[in-house]
Chain A
Amino acid sequence: MENLSKIWKQWLAENGPRLLLFARGWGKNRQDAEDLVQEAVLKMWHHQQDKGGLPPDLPLVFSTIRFGGLMLYRSEKRRRAREESIVFLNDFEDVWLDPMMEEDEEAVMLREAVQGLSDKLREVVVMKVWGALTFAQISEALAISPNTAASRYRYALDQLSQSLQQVKGDRYADAR
């Protein structure tokens, strides 16, 4: 017998960072993304009660975060329309991937390139690389075909490769 709270906490410790990374595509800052993760985890807890109470499969959590993000996006869109002339003071460093893990310049460029991907491409990359989901699982979470998921992934890798090439080329040109 194991304590249910301990099981959920272990699950959260293992998957929290990858869920947060996925949520970053929907929240305008880290706090929004953490709120989205928290909301999804609590909703999943209730959802799992009639299924034995154990933590859910990751694709379902990704999907729940995505719908939470869509609701947040709608509300933010209304707010932006009202405040479009306002500049918020928001100059703190706010990164999606952990800069402590980066040992070289290329990793920094790649991190920035991932943040610069379009939403559709980035969510597939996040689920595949850091969520370790298969294309079949990604297709279920996003309601797209597995072929579409795979082609978005290939296209994203291609774009990341081009972005790296471009940045390196620009730097080389500046250095000359």
Chain B
Amino acid sequence: MRTPDEIENALLRLMPAGISVSAQVEMEEKLDELCGGVEVDMGRPVLAVNWKRYVGIAAALTVGIFVALAGYERGLVGNVAEVGREVFQEALPADLVFLTGSDRLEDVSDEGVFVDSAGSAIRKVRIRLVDEQQMRDEETGIVVVVSEPREEMLILPVNSF
């Protein structure tokens, strides 16, 4: 049996697969669009610190850090997770509250039986779906319904008798 250190070292030898060229190019193009020609100053200001003046502040900070760590250990974690959730939901206007969501089947049509590249019989079925989300504007009470219709082609294996 390998030790945890050995497994860890073996894992470090494996490199994550890179993002595909097409996805990388697409993301870079979007970043170019978003950033435009904006320039930023990466230099950090250098602070001249008189340490004697800050001894009291440092002591207060130390106590504060101990208190914060005690709270942290009691389970007050998840701030980053909460921000992550907020970032993901930023697309919705702040006053809209999500009510319900559904994925509804609207129509099914049989496209017939085909033979795939491996020589197996398959049936193609075209389906039309509507992904619907209801949200309420907290300020006006108006309920907004967002519908996203889409079409999908399903491939069903056909058994031969």
Contacts and interface: CB of A to CB of B under 8 A. Distances in A.
Contacts of A62: 84
Nearest to B83: A60
B24 A95 contact: no
B139 interface: no
The binding surface of chain A is classed by DSSP as: helix
B40 A7 contact: yes
Contacts of A142: 78, 81
A107 B28 CA distance: 32
A160 B16 contact: no
Interface residues of B, number: 60
Given A1-B41, A165-B1, A9 B17 contact: no
A43 B15 contact: no
A1 B39 contact: yes
A95 B17 CA distance: 8
A124 to B, nearest CB: 12
B50 interface: no
A41 B19 CA distance: 13
B21 to A, nearest CB: 11
Interface string B1-19: 1111011101111111111
Interface in A71-124: 71, 75, 78-79, 82-83, 85-89, 95-98, 101-102, 106-107, 110-111, 114
A86 B156 contact: yes
Contacts of A54: 40
Given A2-B40, A21-B16, A79-B103, A63 B80 contact: yes
Q: Which 10 A-B pairs have the closest CB atoms?
A: A63-B84, A143-B78, A5-B35, A140-B80, A143-B81, A21-B16, A17-B16, A67-B88, A34-B23, A4-B38
